[in-house]
Amino acid sequence: MTTVTPSAARAAAGPPGRLRTSSLAGRAGVFAVMALFALYTLIPVWWLLVTATKNSGYLFTTNGLWFSHFDLWTNIRDVFQEQDGIFARWLLNSALYSVGGAAVSTTLSAMAGYALAKYPFRGRDLTFNVILGAVLIPDVMFALPLYLMFSQVHLVNTYWAVFLPSVVSPFGVYLSRIYAGASVPDELIEAARLDGAGEARIFWRVAMPIMSPALVTIFLFQFVSIWNNYLLPLLMLNSDELQPVTVGLANWREGVNQGIPYNITITGAFLSVIPLIVAFLVLQRFWRSGLAAGSVK
Amino acid sequence: MATRTPGDALAHPVAGSAAKRTPGRGHTRSAVLFLAPFGLLFTAMMLAPIGYAVYQSFFRTHRSGLGLGPSTTVFAGFGNYVTALHDSRFMSSFLRVFTLGIVQVPVMLGLALLLALLLDSRGAVFKKVFRQIYFLPYALPGVIAAIMWSFLYAPSVSPFTAALRHVGLEVNFLSDDLVLASIGNMMTWAWTGFNMLIIYSALQAIPGELTEAAVMDGCSGWRVAWHVKIPAVRPALILTTVFSIIGTAQLFNEPAVLSQVAPTVSPTYTPILATQQSADINNYNYAATQSVILALLTFVLSFGFLKFTQRKGTFA
């Protein structure tokens, strides 16, 4: 493998004919490493897909990595019928927490980041550093005491218990400040002020449209982190009807011994990742721009 | 965290533009109004819980009559902290996660860097497809991925156990010897692609002239990677390391799901699991103490790493 990139680089600098074979070997080497890791990534997901099509009996007796007796539709029907159709409720809850939480969170982050980038005021750096410091603290530090606090004001086991903590995103404020600072010109703001526009109007009509690519990224990050959250809803919620799909499925996994069939859990897991995978593939460029903004600083 | 070093790059993009304008009182008012909604929720959902946890950690609840009688709360000073430091199961959970992290994080980030460099090299083909495949695990929620792996490791259904049995090897991924490595594999599978993408994005931002000049000077691909590309993506490597330290310290989903199927994963396997167990038995003061210790250690590790790399950076 050590021969891979040298030859590739030489090839790029204008390859003499005699080097072409080693360049070809180099390319093959690069491809082999990359393909190997792609296999490592794909095999578990492939297993999930294949297994979602099998009924319980074939799960233990057939090759896990290949199809036999295609029962996907039966499995899907069973997933949605288990426990009086609670799976649909879980999906709906997840969507509610994620879409609502991410939308509010993005708006708050945009406002805060814009203020931190564009208004000079005393204590600005301190404020920003406190917010940034919160990124370095593990979630459990907030989740557990929040549970204790919420139980005193009777918020535990309500939608709010999961929703309220989800709308605060220090990382979103960070991204939004960086982006506003780099992309919204001061001259434009000044010009709008001269035209008599108020500060709120300038933010909504001038700054927000310029910041929109960063806002999409913040929305996506927050959407996924809320959809993936497990510890917080696990602590906060008791009733099955309020759970997001992550907690619900983990309970099913635990309930295998109490008669929840394996294939129900596996098919449920498979169904719950489809919306996210689709969103990822469609919106990939926003991920990359967000990650790039985070990493250059 | 409130201290700002002169080298703090984060403040630079705005510092210049701010100096040009005269800070009026009206601007401060607008700034406060824009910051208020986030600030209020940030205070309520993040600062207050930290304060509350620290406060709780200095108290202790005594129950009379086998826990059935009324309980009284008394000030305990650092008593809970002393208890935690002598709690061998809690301490060994730290050691376990630390051991895992010290091996898993370098392996994962090394892989991520290698893949990013290969994707960035001119010899690579199908770049877009590979990139999307590597990023795919990030789309699987941690718990769902953990549920998936819990089946993939379970001896009765695992295709890997079956394949290894074919070649005469009897492997149980959930055995005492292997379960920590199995958890490490779950983390590597889930996060390598995400880190790869951060590093790859930084590689893409390197000016083309820089690498071309090095190639013109006769540098081989590996030398360009080592002397030009890797130093240029140093901030991305630092960022991914800090994310990984925090992520490892919070290890919860994987062992929580595995503990349902593998007796080798105890209820105090990681610090968070141990904390949650204390909360489950209503020992909230002790749970608060445990989470404060975990947060402090995590903060010291990640912030210490940041400071360490920054100081090295200024002298380099």
ipTM of this complex: 0.83
In tens, the pLDDT along B236-245 reads 999 899 989 9
Question: Does B141 sit within 8 Å of A119, measured CB to CB?
Answer: no
Q: Which sequence spans correspond to the domains of chain B? A: 85-315
B19 CB neighbours in chain A (<8 A) are 120
Most confident of A83-92, A286-295, B219-228: A83-92
Cα dist. B121→A31, A38, A251, B114, B227 in Å?
Answer: 11, 17, 45, 10, 15
* Chain A residues closer than 8 Å to B216 by CB: 13
Q: Say whether pLDDT at A9 is over 70.
A: no
Say what percent of chain B tops pLDDT 70: 88
Residue B140 CA to residue A185 CA, distance in Å, equals 38
DSSP 8-state assignment for residue A203: I
Looking at the partner chain, which of B20, B133, B275 has a beta carbon nearest the beta carbon of A144? Answer: B275
Give the model confidence (pLDDT) of A70-116 as tens digits. 778 888 888 888 888 899 999 999 999 999 999 999 999 999 999 99
Q: Scan residues 160-199 of A and list those with Cβ closer than 8 Å to B.
A: 164-165, 167-168, 170, 173, 177-178, 181-182, 186, 199
Q: Is the pLDDT of residue B272 over 70?
A: yes
* 218-247 in chain B: CB under 8 A from chain A: 219-222, 224-225, 233, 235-236, 239-240, 242, 246
Cα A245 from Cα A230, distance rounded (Å): 9
Task: Read off the amino acid at residue A253.
Answer: R
Q: Which residue has the tokens 């029907």?
A: A77
B305 touches chain A (CB under 8 A): no
Please spell the DSSP secondary structure of chain B, one letter per residue.
Answer: -----TT-GGGHHHHHHHHHS---HHHHHHHHHHHHHHHHHHIIIIIHHHHHHHHHTTEEEEESTTTTS-EEEEE-TTHHHHHHHH-HHHHHHHHHHHHHHHHHHHHHHHHHHHHHHHHHSTT--SHHHHHHHHHGGGGS-HHHHHHHHHHHH-TTT-HHHHHHHHTT----TTSTTTHHHHHHHHHHHHHHHHHHHHHHHHHHTS-HHHHHHHHHTT--HHHHIIIIIHHHTHHHHHHHHHHHHHHHHT--HHHHHHTTT-TTS-TTSSHHHHHHHHHHTT-HHHHHHHHHHHHHHHHHHHHHHHHHHHHHHHH-
Taking CA–CA distances from A126, the nearest residue in chain B reads B2
Question: Residue A23: its chain B contacts at CB < 8 A?
Answer: 123
Per CB-CB distance under 8 Å, the chain B contacts of A114 are: 34
Task: Indicate whether A35 pLDDT > 70.
Answer: yes
pLDDT for A13: 44
Q: Would you tell me which residues 109-138 of chain B have a C-beta closer than 8 angstroms to some C-beta of chain A?
A: 111, 114-115, 117-119, 121-125, 130, 132-138
Is residue A132 scored above 90 in pLDDT?
Answer: no
Residues with Cβ < 8 Å from B253, sequence gap 6 or more? A230, A231, B142, B143, B146
Q: What is the mean pLDDT of chain B?
A: 85
Task: Reply yes or no on domain B85-315 having CATH 2.102.10.10.
Answer: no
**pLDDT confidence of residue A248:** 92
| B-contacting residues in A 87-146 (Cβ below 8 Å) | 108-109, 111-112, 114-122, 124-134, 136-142, 144-146
Residue A94, pLDDT score: 94
Average pLDDT over every residue of B182-210: 91
H helix runs in chain A, sequence order: 4-12, 20-51, 56-61, 72-81, 86-118, 124-135, 140-152, 159-166, 170-183, 186-194, 199-202, 208-228, 231-236, 245-254, 262-282, 284-296
pLDDT of residue B57: 94
Q: Pick A259 or A247 by higher pLDDT.
A: A247
Average pLDDT over residues B251-260: 91
Distance from CA of A227 to the nearest CA of B (A): 7
CB proximity list for B38: less than 8 A, separation 6 or greater: A108, A109, A111, A112, A168, A173
**Partner-chain residue, chosen from A44, A120, A137, that has the shortest CB–CB distance to B21:** A120
Q: Inform me whether the pLDDT recorded for A199 exceeds 80.
A: yes
Judge whether residue A269 has pLDDT over 60.
yes
Is A187 strand, coil or helix?
Answer: helix
Please indicate if any CB of chain A lies within 8 Å of the CB of B213.
Answer: no
Q: What is the pLDDT of residue B19?
A: 41
3-state secondary structure of A3: coil
Among A253, A254, A258, the strongest candidate for a mutation testing the B interface, having the largest count of B CBs within 10 A, is A253
Give me the pLDDT at residue B40, please: 96
* Full set of structural domains in chain A with CATH: 4-77 (no CATH), 79-296 (1.10.3720.10)
In whole numbers, what is the pLDDT of chain A averaged over residues? Answer: 84
Taking a C-beta distance cutoff of 8 angstroms, is the pair A295, B236 a contact?
yes
What is the structure's pLDDT at A63? 74
A9 and chain B in contact, CB less than 8 A: yes
How many beta-carbon pairs under 8 angstroms link A with B? Answer: 346
Residues of B in contact with A126 (CB under 8 A): 2
Among partner residues B133, B197, B242, which is closest to A291 by beta-carbon distance? B197
A250 in B contact zone (CB under 8 Å) = yes
Least Cα separation, residue B65 to chain A (angstroms): 24
Q: Over the stretch A169-190, which tens digit does the pLDDT of each residue have?
A: 998 999 899 989 988 999 999 9
Of A5, A109, A117, the CB nearest to B38: A109
What pLDDT was estimated at residue B169? 86
- Can you tell me the mean pLDDT for A44-73? 81
What CA–CA distance (Å, rounded) separates B82 from B80? 5
Summarised one tens digit per residue, pLDDT across range B16-61 is 444 444 445 678 888 899 999 999 999 999 999 999 999 999 999 8
Which of B22, B29, B35, B186 to probe by mutation at the A interface, max A CB count within 10 Å? Answer: B35
pLDDT value at residue B316? 37
Residues with Cβ within 8 Å of residue B60, at least 6 apart in sequence: B73, B74, B75, B76, B79, B80, B285
Number of Cβ atoms within 10 Å of the Cβ of B48? 15
pLDDT attached to residue B46:
93
CB nearest B291 (choices: A116, A144, A291): A144
- The pLDDT-based confidence of B305 (bands split at 50, 70, 90) is very high
pLDDT of A290 > 90? The answer is no
- Contact predicate B62/B75, CB 8 Å: no
Count of Cβ atoms closer than 10 Å to residue A213 Cβ? 15
pTM: 0.84
Q: pLDDT higher for B71 or B200?
A: B200
pLDDT value at residue A287? 65
Whether the per-residue pLDDT at B149 is higher than 90: the answer is yes
**Closest-approach residue (CA) in chain B for A227:** B141
Sequence-ordered list of residues with C-beta below 8 angstroms from that of A80, at least 6 positions apart, any chain: A87, A88
Is A19 a residue whose pLDDT tops 60?
A: no
Instruction: Choose the weakest-confidence range: A128-132, B121-125, B272-276.
Output: B121-125
More confident residue, A205 or A140: A205
Residue-wise pLDDT for B56-98, tens only, equals 999 998 766 565 666 788 898 899 999 999 999 999 999 999 9
Q: Is the pLDDT of residue B221 over 80?
A: no
Q: Is B287 on the interface with A (CB under 8 A)?
A: yes
Instruction: Name, in order, each residue with C-beta under 8 angstroms of B241's C-beta and a sequence gap of 6 or more.
Output: B105, B109, B305
Asked if residue A276 lies in contact with residue B140, where contact means CB atoms within 8 angstroms, the answer is yes
Q: Is the pLDDT of residue A125 over 80?
A: yes
Res A161: pLDDT: 95
